[in-house]
Chains A and B, each alone.
Chain A
Amino acid sequence: MIRPTLQFLSPDTVDRVLEEAIELLQDPGVRVHSPRALNLLGDHGAQVDQEAKVAHIPADLVQRAVETAPKSFYLYNFEGQPVVHYGGDDVQFDPGSTAIEFLDYGATTSRAPITYDFVRYVKLADSLPALDAVSTAMVCADVPQEMADLYRLYLVLLYARKPVVTGAFAVETWRVMKDLLVVIAGSEQALGKKPTAVFDVCPSPPLLWSEITCENLMDCARYRLPAELVSMPLTGATGPATLLGAIVQHAAESLSGVTIHQLVNPGAPIVWGGSPSAFDMRTGTPPMGAIETVMIDCAYAQVGKVLGLPTHAYMGMSDAKIVDAQCGFESGIGATLGALAGINMISGPGMLDFESCFSLEKLVMDAEIVGMAKRLVAGIAERETPLALDIIRQVGHAGNFMATRHTRQWFRQELFIPSAVVDRDFRRNWEVKGSKDTAQRAHERAEALIAAYQPKDLPAEVVAELETITLQSAQAAGMNRLPPR
């Protein structure tokens, strides 16, 4: 069986991308706002300009880091099972993040999300079978922003069984988030052995590591919590206008991340991810649904695969403002091409409006897209030998295959069977059921799944400990009680 794949770059082009990326890390080098990281690079042979905070990283240092980085690793759910495999061409999906807006069903105006929305979101994301992990998808506006990152993780830990793709907004909060994960895992060692979370770390284009993300990156390495590099050049704005130019810059930023990370702790898991974007030259926006964004994503993932690293991308998103036709086709194109590119973790379902607005209806609709995309890459299997001689002869000219055991044996494996969100009814039945559009059907499924959600069986002392840790951060930020959930 052939697994359908998609490649944009010739092997020669990939080599040239990597050569130029490595040259860029020497000249002009990478700017690093973390003194610790600068010193670390300097100790290992990089030429460091302390005043300019620039490290000129030699090629052999980069190459060694790529060699020590693991080719694959597992992410565990909160019940201890390895459920997400970063590596090879395995394709998995999680919701997009980190929205600062929320779109209610039927609304055309978005608003700031609050705890209530987040809890409903986690219950839904945890219930949708197509999604392999959850994410800390929204920033709740009803808590102080100083602890909004860890608060999202706290809510995920209370409600989700699936592993989580997350990230911190500060150096200190990363450590609190690690502590929250340790409460569930039992110990730091147990967590490092069976990681339940991946942390996004985002270099700033071009070629800059802020102190926060750099510290997060190094903390991830220290505790062996997987780090996901999210380099995000914007073509013609914060990166070159050529798609290949953006891919070179992405490679340079990502290689510098891998180098710093592996110097801290060789062999710690790290992911070649990203969120680059084409830049819209009319509006000055970063369209996540643009076809060029999708092309850059697939191509940088190809580069990561040549390096032998696990891959990630923010894809399957739309810049539409509501769950409409643009929302559907952009998400469908992105998720499908990402799956064909064999990207290990694709983050995007649920996300609208340049990765800034979350919709439960879109999440549910996207889950159907994900189901189809996964079916697509599963390919056309040779189920039997001979391929069909026996069954076609058996049925003969009578022509009814439906009454055969053969049909019953195979149809569930051959077909992705969508939920009622995908309409395949006869027109009259569709009319009888209320002539509902996609958003309405998705809304009904969202509400049904949220209502059917079964609470997690967390020991009371675990819940209390999570609450204590989170409340301490809230109090430090001036909030005395956590919002009701």
Chain B
Amino acid sequence: MAHSIIDGDVEVAGQLARQAIEQDVDPLEAINQGFVVGVNYVGEQYTLGEMFLPDLVLAGEAMKAAVAVLEPEMARRGAERQMLGKVVLGTVAGDIHEIGKTLVGTMLASSGFQVYDLGVDVPIGTFVEKARQVNADIVGLSALLTTTMARQRDVIEALEEAGLRPGVKVMVGGAPVTGSWAGEIGADGYSEDAIGAVAVAKRLMGGYKEALG
């Protein structure tokens, strides 16, 4: 299973997940003892400079395929996968740049976050609605243009108006975004790249875990 993730093989990962169900393997165990091992390996190798972004993304895709197969079985058994948190993610209105945001989504999903990727050119209201609907822990806002960067502030304000802000952390990213901009608009976290975003998201969830004891 780990190998199918390391190879980024979507078909094989899905196939192995189906086999696991047929052989009555606990789907949670299949994920945590099997597929996640591969995800962790790819992450480590990336950090060491031995693997690259496409390896990470394809590993993420393979992981997604495996989880998609295993999820109905988990639901049937009444088991639930322990997620690190729920992240609503998108590129802000007026901006159609996708790759950075998608990378962040893939990294977060591979690292154990439940990711709701809203895509690009996402209206302010859609972020708020989705965050409310899924009871999001984090909202991630991407912007590549200096002209659309201001929409990140608008979303934060909209979340506040909707009364969601106390329970929702906001992460911002994108080429023109800096730490000082994040501070200025009242965001909780900012990262220069997708790998850093995972660390930031984990840090933002830290307070929660403590609260949950």
- Residue positions of A touching B, CB distance < 8 A: 399-400, 402-403, 405, 407-408, 411-412, 417, 419-420, 426-429
| A402 interface neighbour in B99, B178, B192, Cβ under 8 Å | B99
Task: Judge whether A402 and B57 touch: CB under 8 Å.
Answer: yes
Which residues of chain B are within 8 angstroms of A411 by Cβ–Cβ distance? 52, 54
- Known A-B contacts A405-B8, A408-B8, A426-B193; the reply to A400 vs B49 at CB < 8 A is no
Contact A400 B52 (CB under 8 A): no
Contact of A426 among B52, B54, B103, B192 (CB under 8 A): B192
- Closest residue on chain B to residue A400 by CB atoms: B102
Cβ-defined contact, A400 with B98, below 8 A: yes
CA distance A229 to B70 in the complex (A): 69
Q: Is the CB of B103 within 8 A of A408?
A: no
Q: Is the CB of A428 within 8 A of B179?
A: yes
Question: What's the tally of chain B residues with a CB closer than 8 Å to chain A?
Answer: 20
A-B contact pairs, 11 of them (CB 8 A): A400-B99, A402-B53, A403-B58, A403-B60, A403-B102, A405-B58, A408-B54, A408-B55, A428-B178, A428-B179, A429-B196
A405: chain B residues within 8 A (beta carbon): 8, 58
Query: What chain A residues lie within 8 Å of B178 (beta carbons)?
Result: 428
Distance A405 CA – B103 CA, assembled complex (angstroms):
16
Chain B residues at the A interface, C-beta cutoff of 8 Å: 8, 49, 52-55, 57-58, 60-61, 98-99, 102-103, 106, 178-179, 192-193, 196
Docked complex Cα distance between A382 and B192 (Å): 35
- CB contacts (< 8 Å) of B102 on chain A: these are 400, 402-403
Q: Residue of A at shortest CB range from B53?
A: A402
Given A399-B98, A402-B99, A405-B8: A429 in contact with B192 (beta carbons within 8 A)? yes
B58 — nearest CB in chain A belongs to which residue? A408
With a CB–CB cut-off of 8 A, which chain A residues contact B61? Answer: 403
B8 CB contacts on chain A under 8 angstroms? 405, 408
B98 touches A420 (CB 8 A): no
Q: Which residue of B lies closest to A403 (CB)?
A: B57
Find chain A residues with CB under 8 A from B60 CB: 403
Complex partner residue of B103 from A402, A407, A417, A428, CB under 8 angstroms: A402
How close is B174's CB to chain A, nearest CB, in angstroms? 11
Q: How far is the CB of B8 from chain A (nearest CB, A)?
A: 6
Closest CB of chain A to B14's CB: distance in Å?
14
B120 (CB) vs chain A CBs: closest residue: A399
A22 to chain B, nearest CB (A): 54
Complex alpha-carbon distance, A429 and B102, angstroms? 20
A408 to B8, CA, bound (A): 9
User: CA of A247 to CA of B49 in the docked complex: distance in angstroms?
Assistant: 45
CA distance A407 to B61 in the complex (A): 14
Known A402-B54, A412-B52; 9 more pairs at CB < 8 Å: A400-B102, A402-B57, A403-B54, A403-B60, A403-B61, A403-B102, A407-B54, A408-B55, A428-B178
In the complex, which residues of chain A have a beta carbon less than 8 angstroms from the beta carbon of B57?
Answer: 402-403
B192 touches A428 (CB 8 A): yes
Report the separation of the CA atoms of residues A411 and B51 in the bound assembly, to the nearest whole angstrom: 11
The 5 closest A-B pairs by CB, nearest first: A426-B192, A428-B192, A407-B54, A408-B54, A402-B57
A408 and B193 alpha carbons, distance in the complex (Å): 20
Q: How far is the CA of A2 from the CA of B64 in the complex (A)?
A: 42
**Given contact pairs A428-B179, A429-B192, A417 touches B52 in the complex (Cβ within 8 A):** yes
Chain B nearest Cβ from A281, distance in angstroms: 46
Q: How far is the CB of A130 from chain B (nearest CB, A)?
A: 16
Q: What's the Cα separation between A419 and B49 when bound, in Å?
A: 8
CB distance from B181 to the nearest CB of A (A): 12
How near does chain B come to A446, taking the closest CB pair, in angstroms? 17
Closest Cβ neighbor of B119 among chain A residues: A398
Whole-angstrom distance between the alpha carbons of A403 and B192 in the complex?
21
Name the residue among B52, B55, B193 with the largest chain A CB count within 10 angstroms.
B52
Which residues of A are found within 8 Å of B192, using beta-carbon distances? 426-429
A408 vs B9: C-alpha distance in the bound complex, in angstroms? 11
| Alpha-carbon separation in the docked complex, A258 to B57 (Å) | 57
What residues on A are CB-neighbors of B179 within 8 Å?
428
Separation of A150 and B163 alpha carbons in the complex (Å) = 81
Q: Nearest Cβ in chain A — how far from B118, in angstroms?
A: 15
CB distance from B199 to the nearest CB of A (A): 11
Q: B residues within 8 A CB of A403? A: 54, 57-58, 60-61, 102, 106
CA A407 – CA B58 in complex, angstroms? Answer: 10
- Nearest CB in chain A: distance from B180 CB, A: 11
Name the residue on A nearest B195 (C-beta). Answer: A429
The listed residue with most B CB atoms (<10 A of its CB), out of A399, A402, A411, A417, is A402
CB contacts (< 8 Å) of B98 on chain A: these are: 399-400
Q: How far is the CA of A419 from the CA of B8 in the complex (A)?
A: 24
- A178 vs B185: C-alpha distance when bound (angstroms): 73
CA distance A383 to B192 in the complex (A): 34
